[in-house]
Amino acid sequence: MKFAVLVFPGSNCDIDCYKAVEDGLGESVDYVWHTATDLSAYDCIIVPGGFSYGDYLRCGAISRFAPVMNEVAKAAEQGKYVLGICNGFQILTEAGLLPGTLRRNMSLKFRCHDTVLRVDNNENPFTSLYAAGEEITIPIAHGEGNYYCDEATLAELQQNKQIIFRYTDNPNGSVDNIAGISNQRGNVVGMMPHPERAIDAVLGSVDGKKMFTSILKAWRDRHESASVR
């Protein structure tokens, strides 16, 4: 399996994501600059956290127009896996690949600490190795992680089981305690907490590693099924 970690001016979690794949999975991974116009070689695209373009205008509002995002949209349409973490989640909502938006934290303060999430949907390619309802410890680091959508969109997310993670103790005011969501197809996931910072005991938690191993399992299962046919 081959992973791409996108890099925008101002990205600062790209190395963390790269190491999560390289050391945590032992799979092939490349950094891909925001001007790239071809992602056809990759099976999973990670849009990392940071402060792309300094978070000017709105978080992710400028990155959304980077050439590589056209390719991310194509990859998502082809059914490839796309994971947006923190600023990456913000970019995916700005690009229209995920519904809703991220607003300033209710406290108006930057929050940086461990938080407990509940796995609300473990029937997703990104979460299949977690148990339904499992509580996991994943760090957050954001000032604009307050997920918001209108009532109609929230009803759709709930009905379609697109809410992947919820906070057990909401740190930012997100509607319905939402910490992570998927698109309807389930191959695009965005979340504010940082699973790449929870893949080794030395970091304080290994609870994020199952997300990456779940992606690998989903890819292998898909290819084994295709080879049987």
Torsion of CA 66, 67, 72, 74, to 10 degrees: 140
Of the pLDDT bands very low, low, confident and very high (cuts 50, 70, 90), residue 226 is: confident
Our measurement of the distance from residue 105's CA atom to the centroid of its chain's CA atoms, rounded to an integer in Å, reads 18
Q: Which helix (H) or strand (E) holds 153?
A: helix 151-159
Judge whether 45 and 72 are in contact, CB under 8 Å.
yes
Judge whether 29 and 3 are in contact, CB under 8 Å.
yes
Helices and strands per DSSP (H, E), number in the chain? 5, 11
Burial label, 174 (beta-carbon count in 10 A; 0-12, 13-18, 19+): buried
Structure tokens at 86: 């923190």
Does the annotation count 151 as an active-site position?
Answer: no
Residue whose entry in the numeric block shows the structure tokens 């898909």: 222
At 16-47, the pLDDT tens digits run 999 999 999 999 999 999 999 999 999 999 99
For the ranges 137-141, 188-192, 225-229, the lowest mean pLDDT is seen at: 225-229
At 44-62, the pLDDT tens digits run 999 999 999 999 889 999 9
Under DSSP, is residue 136 helix (H, G, I), strand (E, B) or coil?
strand
What are the φ/ψ torsions at residue 105 (nearest 5 degrees)? Answer: -55, 145
Of the pLDDT bands very low, low, confident and very high (cuts 50, 70, 90), residue 229 is: low
Query: In sequence order, what are the residues at sequence separation of 6 or more whose Cβ sits closer than 8 angstroms to the Cβ of residue 143?
Result: 104, 105, 109, 110, 111
- Please compute the mean of the pLDDT values over residues 155-172 and round it to a whole number: 98
Number of other residues whose CB lies within 10 A of the CB of residue 131: 11
Domain total for the chain? 1
Distance CA 19, CA 22 (A): 5
C-alpha angle 102-104-110 in degrees, rounded to nearest 5: 115
Of the pLDDT bands very low, low, confident and very high (cuts 50, 70, 90), residue 152 is: very high
Judge whether 36 and 10 are in contact, CB under 8 Å.
no
Q: Where are the beta strands (DSSP E) in 1-156?
A: 2-7, 28-33, 44-47, 81-85, 101-103, 111-119, 135-142, 146-148
- Catalytic: which of 13, 17, 86, 149? 86
pLDDT at 18: 98
Of 18, 19, 22, the closest CA to residue 47 belongs to 18
Does the annotation count 194 as an active-site position?
Answer: yes
pLDDT at 228 over 70: no
- Catalytic: which of 71, 94, 144, 196? 196
At 85-137, the pLDDT tens digits run 999 999 999 999 999 999 999 999 999 999 999 999 999 999 999 999 999 99
> What's the whole-model pTM score?
0.96
pLDDT at 227: 66
CATH of the domain at 26: 3.40.50.880
Which residues span the domain enclosing 164? 2-228
At 178-221, the pLDDT tens digits run 999 999 999 999 999 999 999 999 999 999 999 999 999 999 99
Of 125, 133, 184, 190, the closest CA to residue 159 belongs to 184
